[in-house]
Structure 1
Amino acid sequence: MSSHRKPRPTSPLTRRAVRVGLFAAGVAGVASAVPAQAATGGPSRPAVASDHVFSHANRLDHTETKDSFTIRQYGKVNAAAVRNQANAVSSGCSADDECRSVALSFQIVTFAGEQTRLNAVNLSDAANKNCTGCQTLAGAYQFVVSTPTPLTLDSAHRRQLADIHRRLDALTRSKVPAADLRTQADGLAAEVNAVLKDAVADAPKGDAQDDVTMHRHLDGWPGR
């Protein structure tokens, strides 16, 4: 029997953010379902976002593939705790009876503020449990957009992101080998990053610097 698991490093914070402990108890397990259109210029408030994708393939369900593509837009915030996580497990299969487990999570969070306290966590974990020859991939992509004034993505940028989302769905459901899937997921992430940078370039300017930071973590079996 074999069991493989890799450590889960946390991602770096954005340049303008000040690292602090999670400002609300148990924040890791709390999801804030804020509509994408919710960015406003109202009073500063804390923001919490948590997204998690989990897939598990085994002898009863040889293939399980899941993905998530979330956009969470906040207005002015004084503190933000954002967490993005992908976990994939393959168990109990063999080289003659392979399993395939894929979990991909894309999280986009926008907020505004001059001195926002930020805690950003982005992690992935892929585990093969007694699963010789199985393909297991977990990928977490987190995009943190910080601007001096609230940013609302316009219809053109949202259409571009919707198109990337559709292609992510197709990629997740495909039978592309795990190593190639990693490469293509990275390509989609680069497109998201470019769309967000373009959106920020068109946004009103303030005293502080605009910032788009992408956090990426991939874990998988077999590796490259």
Structure 2
Amino acid sequence: MTTEHDSAPRVGTRLTRRTPRAFRAGVLVTACLGVVGFASGAAEAYAGCAVVADSAHALANPGHPTVFRDTFDVHQLGAVTAAGARNQAEAESVACRASSPCRSISLSFQIVTMAGEDIHLDAVNLGNSTNVHCDGCQTLAGAYQFIVSTPHPFSLTSDELARLRRIHAELTALGSSTASIDQVKADADALAAQVKAILTNAAAAGAASTHTGMRPLTATQQPHVTLHRMFDQG
């Protein structure tokens, strides 16, 4: 099994980022999570806190030897004081023979936009693949988490959302690809780069349109897009 990550030392490690506007504060976020909890595909908010969670799970076995699952979710939280974001991709291949191996691929894209100048953020991004009595099987789990932080709330435009939907369609189309696992990973990375470019431009335009002060935005007020990427391959 091989693991790739951009900001964590191992699979299952909680990711945290400190930026001028977004950082982790365990007590406040834990209190927020205690109120709303995590639910797959859900977004909840309470008293300035917001929690989002997304996951994709692929399970291949002799009855279903080739399985692909993907998620692509956009959460626009608006102004918050604390946020928790969890994204997880899991892929399993079980009990296939070497003469007829399984192929299991799971890819989860999570986009979270939030606004505020002092946000307490707890971001978790996990990828986990497992082969169980499955010689020669191919198993890949990839999790991409995009965190967009801006000083003032903004909304993605209809054009930007349409472009993201087209990327989602391309991500889903990877499920019918017969390309190698390495190529699927490269294709997913290319789509992630497109997503980040869209979000970076959208955040900059949104910050400019919502800033009404006479003075330009300071360095700590500039919009910021962070990508957390985790791959695990069996």
Aligned length: 213
> Among 100, 105, 108, which residue is 2:103 paired with?
100
Q: Does 1:30 align with 2:39?
A: yes
Q: Does structure 1 conserve the Cα–Cα contact (< 8 Å) formed by 2:76 and 2:113? A: yes
> Among 187, 211, 224, which residue is 2:224 paired with?
211
Equivalents in 1 of 2:160, 2:35: separation in Å? 34
- Relative to 1, partners in 2 of residues 1:27 and 1:104: Cα closer, same or farther, differing over 3 Å? farther
Equivalents in 2 of 1:122, 1:27: separation in Å? 19
TM-score (norm 1): 0.87
Q: Does 1:20 align with 2:20?
A: no
Unaligned runs of 5+ in 2: 4-9, 212-216
Select the structure that is richer in helix: 2
- Relative to 1, partners in 2 of residues 1:87 and 1:114: Cα closer, same or farther, differing over 3 Å? same
Aligned-residue Cα RMSD (Å) equals 2.5
TM-score (norm 2): 0.83
State the shift of 1:48 in Å: 0.4
1:134: which partner in 2? 137
- Letter aligned with residue 9 of structure 1: T
Q: Does 1:71 align with 2:74?
A: yes
Q: Does 1:154 align with 2:166?
A: no
Equivalents in 2 of 1:189, 1:180: separation in Å? 14
1:1-224 matches, within 5 Å, as 7-16=11-20, 17-21=22-26, 22-23=29-30, 24-25=33-34, 29-31=38-40, 33-34=42-43, 45-205=48-208, 206=211, 207=217, 208-221=221-234
Q: Does structure 2 conserve the Cα–Cα contact (< 8 Å) formed by 1:31 and 1:48? A: no
State the shift of 1:60 in Å: 1.5
State the shift of 1:14 in Å: 4.8
List 4+ stretches of structure 1 deviating above 6 A: 3-6
Moved more, 44-53 or 81-90: 44-53
State the shift of 1:114 in Å: 0.9
Equivalents in 2 of 1:180, 1:25: separation in Å? 41
Percent identity between the two aligned chains: 41
State the shift of 1:49 in Å: 0.2
Aligned-partner SS, 2:93: strand
1:176-204 per-residue CA deviation (whole Å, 9 max, x = no partner) reads 21111111101100110000001012113
- Relative to 1, partners in 2 of residues 1:173 and 1:25: Cα closer, same or farther, differing over 3 Å? farther
State the shift of 1:44 in Å: 6.7
Unaligned runs of 5+ in 1: 36-42
State the shift of 1:165 in Å: 0.5
- Letter aligned with residue 218 of structure 1: F
Equivalents in 2 of 1:4, 1:65: separation in Å? 19
- Letter aligned with residue 19 of structure 1: R
Aligned-partner SS, 1:182: helix
- Relative to 1, partners in 2 of residues 1:90 and 1:26: Cα closer, same or farther, differing over 3 Å? farther
